[in-house]
Amino acid sequence: MVLRKAFFTDSVALLFCTVFMVFTGLGLVKGDEKEKSELAGLMCKIDAYSKALDRLATYFSFDEVEKERKIYEDACANLVLHCKTATTKFERPDDKKYQEFNQAMLKASENIATILKDANRANSLEDMLWETGKLRQTCVTCHKHLDIHIGSDKHGEKK
């Protein structure tokens, strides 16, 4: 008898908590915040690898790039991997522009990887610089679209 009473009391309390969370939206907010923090962490990694590739702008010939080829190949491989994760795990079917920006980011990073692998091409350095510029511009336009300000704690709020 006592066990039934305890079970009934626990069931009522669980039902009350579930209804409360559904009506207040507490469960959804935490999940949404978790997704935003995962995406923010992923984008920080993408930013770090793209900044490593931005160093290519300081070189004048592809021979100079050859000295640090391993660094750039690793950065590029990780960049492509994280861009693929961003486009698949954090897709937004309701936001077409966001999807286009993610695909452009992935395409630019894949193009950089292709250019790095094909070191015999003429104008390879210029092609890489062009693609890193496209990658950077895609990030900027996507951040404007989402109202994300660089150097801010929250979306739309400057420090």
How buried is 130 (Cβ within 10 angstroms: 0-12 exposed, 13-18 middle, 19+ buried)? Answer: middle
Residue type, 30: K
- Name the residue range of residue 96's domain: 35-146
* Distance of alpha carbon 91 from alpha carbon 89, whole angstroms: 6
Domain for residue 12, yes or no?
A: no
Q: Is the pLDDT of residue 159 over 50?
A: no
Rounded mean pLDDT, 49-59: 82
> Cβ(91)–Cβ(105) under 8 Å?
no
CATH number, domain with residue 74? 1.20.120
Torsion of CA 58, 46, 88, 153, to 10 degrees: -140
How does the average pLDDT of the chain come out, rounded?
Answer: 75
Is residue 11 in a domain? Answer: no
The total of structural domains in the chain comes to 1
Q: What is the pTM of this model?
A: 0.68
> Any bridge partners for residue 157, and if so which?
154
